[in-house]
């Protein structure tokens, strides 16, 4: 049994919440194991004024953490699964997916109750191409403006009047106890969530059985099944974390219902599909949905995004 587990994490309030959540869970199952939090500054945190899509996407949040893992500076890294790249570095894997929080997006505004209430020209803050494309498709009269920074920073900019509304992941607001700031939860029928949104994953070195033994109890199979379908679709599409791809899986007792979407950034083209499969076929379901979207022309949309952003 591992005596001390070092958790690598970014220093944002939400990243620290995730790290402390994992720390506390480990201590609950293995009180004899020591847990140390190692704070690491990521490239994504160093360039907050530049849209993520311009500088390589959300994978920038992982690079330093994964380097620390590979160099044995930490034993595990804790990630929001919506930030995790399609392919992991050789020697690393994510054996544990924790119980998912609400995967929906949240509408946050001090003056309006929903996206539908926003007037012509209202300024909406988000840096997500996925959100921008879907909002542009449904609400072309709104002005979409890049907004980066941690949750507190984004809420602060809303409060100083820089925006009429901002769109954030509901999970982050709930975890940081900002529930009261949510004016409305945005249902998946209006804006389909990001791949893995609301789920926390634990990454470690392959073959590190001592660490895997400590973290195994945190694994939530139902969440893992949903995230597997969503990530399989994204992988088949050749997508990353910074492209207008959305996916959302829901489980029943016997089936997985899966919806996926690819949209042009301007919202002029929105490709969607929905499929259902028996439980246990998450990867196949995600891949099938991706192939349907490719047949509809998704690859052309994604190539254009990569060309525009130099990816």
DSSP-derived 3-state class of residue 147: coil
- DSSP-derived secondary structure for 152-166: HHHHHHHHTTS-SEE
Closest CA to 251 of 99, 94, 80: 99
8, two tokens = 């690598």
Q: Is position 83 annotated as part of the catalytic site?
A: yes
- DSSP-derived secondary structure for 207-219: T-HHHHHHHGGG-
Rounded CA-CA distance 300/297 in Å is 6
- CA distances to 131, 191, 212, 229, 280 from 286, in Å: 21, 19, 27, 5, 12
Query: To which residue do tokens 């072309």 refer?
Result: 140
Number of Cβ within 10 Å of residue 308's Cβ equals 12
Rounded CA-CA distance 126/149 in Å is 10
Bridge partners for 204 per DSSP: 76, 93
216, 7 Cβ separation under 8 angstroms: no
Rounded CA-CA distance 13/16 in Å is 5
Residues contacting 253, CB < 8 A, separation 6+: 279
38, 107 Cβ separation under 8 angstroms: no
Catalytic residue (one of 24, 45, 75, 83): 83
Catalytic residues: 83
């Amino acid at each position: 049994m591992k005596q001390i587990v070092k958790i690598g994490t970014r220093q944002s309030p939400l990243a620290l919440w995730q790290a402390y959540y994992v720390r506390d869970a480990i201590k609950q199952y293995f009180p004899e194991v020591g847990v140390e939090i190692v704070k690491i500054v990521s490239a994504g945190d160093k360039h907050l004024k530049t849209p993520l899509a311009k500088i390589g996407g959300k994978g920038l949040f992982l690079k330093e953490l994964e380097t620390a893992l590979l160099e044995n500076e930490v034993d595990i890294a804790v990630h929001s699964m919506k930030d995790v790249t399609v392919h992991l570095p050789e020697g690393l894997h994510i054996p544990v997916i924790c119980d998912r929080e609400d995967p929906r997006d949240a509408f946050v505004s001090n003056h309006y109750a929903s996206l539908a209430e926003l007037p012509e020209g209202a300024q909406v803050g988000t840096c997500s191409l996925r959100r921008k494309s879907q909002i542009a498709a449904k609400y072309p009269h709104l002005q979409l403006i890049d907004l980066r920074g941690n949750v507190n920073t984004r809420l602060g900019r809303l409060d100083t009047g820089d925006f009429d509304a901002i769109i954030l992941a509901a999970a982050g607001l709930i975890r940081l106890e900002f529930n009261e700031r949510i004016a409305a939860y945005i249902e998946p029928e209006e804006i389909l969530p990001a791949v893995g949104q609301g789920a926390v994953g634990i990454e470690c070195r392959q073959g590190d059985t001592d660490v895997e033994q400590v973290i195994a109890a945190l694994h939530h199979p139902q969440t893992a099944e949903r995230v597997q379908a969503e990530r399989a679709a994204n992988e088949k599409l050749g997508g990353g974390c910074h492209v207008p791809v959305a996916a959302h899986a829901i489980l029943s007792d016997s089936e997985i219902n899966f919806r996926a979407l690819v949209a042009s950034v301007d919202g002029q083209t929105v490709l969607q599909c929905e499929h259902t499969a028996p439980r246990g076929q998450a990867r196949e379901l995600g891949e099938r949905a991706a192939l349907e979207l490719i047949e509809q022309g998704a690859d052309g949309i994604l190539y254009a995004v990569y060309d525009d952003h130099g990816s």
